[in-house]
Amino acid sequence: MTRRLGALELIEANVDPGSWHSWDGPIAPADRDPEYEKALLQARERAGTDEAVLTGRARIEGHDVALIVSEFRFLGGSIGRDAAERIVTAVRRATGERLPLIAAPSSGGTRMQEGTPAFVTMVDISRAVVEHKAAGLPYLVYLRHPTTGGVFASWGSLGHVTVAEPGALIGFLGPSVYEALNGHPFPDGVQVAENLVAKGVIDAVVTSDRLAVVAANALALLARPAKVSQAWVPDTAVVTLPRDPWDSIQLSRHPDRPGVRELLRYGAGDVVALSGTGAGEPGQGMLCALASFQEVACVVIGQDRRAQASGGPLGPDDLRAARRGIHVAQQLGRPLVCVVDTPGAELSAEAEERALAGEIARCLADLVQLTVPSVSVLLGEGCGGGALALLPGRTRIAAEHAWLSPLPPEGASVILHGHTRLAADMARRQRVGSHELLTDGVVHAVVPEPVPAHENPEDFCRRVSAAIGSQLLQQLPTH
Ligand SMILES: CC(C)(COP(=O)(O)OP(=O)(O)OC[C@H]1O[C@@H](n2cnc3c(N)ncnc32)[C@H](O)[C@@H]1OP(=O)(O)O)[C@@H](O)C(=O)NCCC(=O)NCCSC(=O)CC(=O)O
């Protein structure tokens, strides 16, 4: 395990040399009870800081940023009114100076010596952070060991991207407080960074010595706003000969056909993976990431066909994860890439009761309202409402052997004929293949597959990536 760093150590280890400028003014004297005053004096001596947070401006790998960093040795990084005021002032200043903001909390939550007046400052901090994000500015969070209570429940949980220190204790109530109040220990292994990543609460675990690299990567992707060009009209290209869609359907189901993971691996750069909804739903069937295609930095939401096949069907949580990605793209003004690749959404009682249909509808609603450039990519299987949910990009492209249909052709055959034997015929009649999609104006371009994608995944992914980049570039303003 890497050594846990104090506030100044973390700052010095991650900012460009000589670039740190503190924004903190002196803490004003106040009429406090003598015991608390004594605790503050001791905390200052122990921590070497004048409060439990430090704020300021710095450069990280060339990016100008504002930083808010907790010092746990100062009364457990707890937030009293002075610390809160310092945070709010720094967030507002970052917004005013249009600086991306990075917060690195480590805290026992509300400062117990101050009680409720301190507790309610979490509202002020949250308001400032929300206003910062509403101004289209990135907010990244690095949760350090330990982050608990109202800090985790306010500015610790509002990041566009949230990463955490390996092994960090991160939880709402501290485990010793829980045990004392409930008479039994809190279950092991729950309030741990790695578990929260697996459960879709936070995005990734990052060692403190890699924070600068990860932050710089995310900032490079997030810091340049993009709005769709007024002059843009979709470009269409006819590049394929008619194919039997049934052949395409068979090829799209080939176990080695590359999916969204391979597309990111071979066709994208600067990938920063996001984990699920951030709200405790891992969204295994939906991959969300920040990435760049042909140098265009964007948000990617993509249906992971293999994960769906191995027990994680495309369910309501996946669609909520997608909506998180849509909101990040809209809020930060980044283009959005939607990758469609699904044998169909989850068919289960649980999915119904957790609003599968409603989430499909809300994905559609969110996408049709986007004002940033967007492209939907039919990569392989495009089956039913699950596929429809990610279809409304401003431009839509299809791989040559991708297809789109209202339900599996086998299902269509059952509806009309009472058996699955006429599935191939139904696929032909329902105009599901890429050639028909192009002819009918459902997609604007088709990416040729000179050989089926599974025979040369790298080449396929590079072709799709080039098509994505080109579609996005066409939508961006030229100046
Ligand atoms: C964060 C911890 C898990 C860390 O445990 P550790 O064993 O590493 O450290 P520790 O307990 O010795 O704490 C280090 C020092 O910080 C102090 N300390 C910790 N939390 C504090 C707090 N909230 N206010 C004031 N001081 C605090 C401890 O008294 C101790 O002081 P000394 O060294 O002098 O002994 C634990 O401190 C803890 O459970 N804190 C409370 C977490 C919590 O439940 N917060 C909810 C608060 S209410 C809230 O925030 C509002 C809300 O929930 O919405």
* Structural domain ending residue among the three candidates 188, 222, 256: 222
The region that residue 200 occupies, defined by phi over 0 for left and psi between -120 and 50 for alpha, beta otherwise, is: left
**Is the per-residue pLDDT at 336 higher than 90?**
yes
Specify the number of domains making up the chain: 2
Distance 124 CA to ligand 1 centre (A): 21
Confidence of residue 305 (pLDDT cuts 50, 70, 90): very high
Residues 155 and 258 in one domain: no
Asked whether residue 235 is domain-assigned, the answer is no
Answer whether 112 contacts ligand 1 (Cβ < 6 A): yes
Which of 222, 255, 290 is a domain's end point?
222
Supply the pLDDT for residue 231.
64
* 159 and 280 share one domain: no
Distance 108 CA to ligand 1 centre (A): 4
Q: What is the mean pLDDT of residues 385-413?
A: 92
| Residue 97 forms part of a structural domain | yes
Q: Are residues 184 and 258 in the same domain?
A: no
C-beta 150 within 6 A of ligand 1: yes
CA-CA distance, 145 to 4, in Å (whole number)? 8
Strands 296-303 and 101-104: unpaired
Report strand pairing: 374-382 vs 336-342.
parallel
Residue whose tokens read 């369910």: 315
Cβ of residue 382 lying under 6 Å from some atom of ligand 1? no
Ligand 1 binding pocket includes 156 (Cβ within 6 Å): no
The reply to whether 401 and 255 lie within a common domain is yes
Does the CB atom of residue 173 touch ligand 1 within 6 A?
Answer: yes
What whole-number percentage of the chain has pLDDT above 90?
72
Range of the domain at 178: 7-222
pLDDT in tens, 235-254: 555 555 678 999 999 999 99
Does 228 map to a domain? no
Only one residue has tokens 């990280």, namely 60
State if residue 174 touches ligand 1 by the CB under 6 angstroms criterion: yes
0.90 surpassed by complex ipTM: yes
How far away, in angstroms, is 230 Cα from ligand 1 center?
A: 53
Average pLDDT over residues 31-39: 94
Check whether 230 has a pLDDT greater than 80: no
Cα(477) to centroid(ligand 1), Å: 51
pLDDT, tens digit, 9 for 90 and up, residues 193-209: 999 999 888 999 999 99
Nearest ligand 1 atom, CA 46: 33
The answer to whether residues 128 and 72 belong to one domain is: yes
212 and 316 share a domain?
no
Domain co-membership, 106 together with 196: yes
| Rounded average pLDDT over 375-404 | 94
Q: Whose CA is nearest to atom 10 of ligand 1?
A: 76
Question: Pocket of ligand 1, candidates 112, 119, 143, 190: which has the most ligand atoms within 8 Å of its Cβ, to mutate?
Answer: 112
Q: How far is the CA of 79 from the centre of ligand 1 (A)?
A: 11
CATH number of the structural domain spanning residue 67: 3.90.226.10
The residues pairing with 140 across neighbouring beta strands, listed in sequence order, are: 102, 161
Asked whether residue 284 is assigned to any structural domain, the reply reads yes
pTM here? 0.84
Q: Average of pLDDT values for 125-148? A: 94
Same domain (yes/no): 348, 405: yes
CA 5 – ligand 1 centroid, Å = 18
* Three-class HEC string of 170-210: ECCCCHHHHHHHHCCCCCCCCCEHHHHHHCCCCCEECCHHH
Rounded Cα gap, residues 201 and 161, in angstroms: 11
Indicate whether residue 77 lines ligand 1 (CB < 6 A).
Answer: no
Q: Which atom of ligand 1 is nearest to the CA of 154?
A: 54
Q: What is the DSSP letter of 87?
A: H
Q: 238 lies in a domain?
A: no
Measured in angstroms, how far is the CA atom of residue 109 from the centroid of ligand 1? Answer: 7
Mean pLDDT over each residue of the chain, to the nearest integer: 91
The answer, yes or no, to whether residue 12 has pLDDT greater than 60, is: yes
User: Which of 122-136, 220-234, 265-279, 396-410 is predicted with the least confidence, judged by mean pLDDT?
Assistant: 220-234
Q: Is the pLDDT of residue 1 over 50?
A: no
Most confident of 61-70, 121-130, 444-453: 61-70
d(CA 308, CA 380): 13
* Distance in Å, CA 323 to ligand 1 centroid: 35
Cβ–Cβ < 8 Å for 422, 214: no
Q: Is 155 among the domain residues?
A: yes
* 323, part of any domain: yes
Looking at residue 351, its pLDDT comes to: 87
CA of 406 to the centre of ligand 1 (A): 54
CB of 217 closer than 6 angstroms to any ligand 1 atom:
no
Residue from 75, 107, 126, 176 whose mutation best tests the ligand 1 pocket (most atoms within 8 A of CB): 75
**What φ, ψ does residue 383 adopt, rounded to 5°?**
-110, 120
CA-nearest residue for atom 17, ligand 1, is 76
For atom 3 of ligand 1, the residue with the nearest CA is 174
**Residue whose CA is at the smallest distance from ligand 1 atom 39:** 174
Looking at the structure, tell me whether residues 214 and 263 fall in a common domain: no
Domain for residue 137, yes or no? yes
Which pLDDT score, from 0 to 100, does residue 279 have? 84
Q: Is the CB of 273 under 6 A from ligand 1?
A: no
Cis-peptide, bond into residue 258, ω within 30° of zero: no
- Asked if residue 257 and residue 117 are part of one domain, the reply reads no
- For 394, the 3-state DSSP assignment is coil
Where is the domain boundary, 207, 222, 237?
Answer: 222
Q: Are residues 327 and 422 in the same domain?
A: yes
Q: What is the mean pLDDT of residues 146-163?
A: 92
**Do 218 and 286 belong together in one domain?**
no
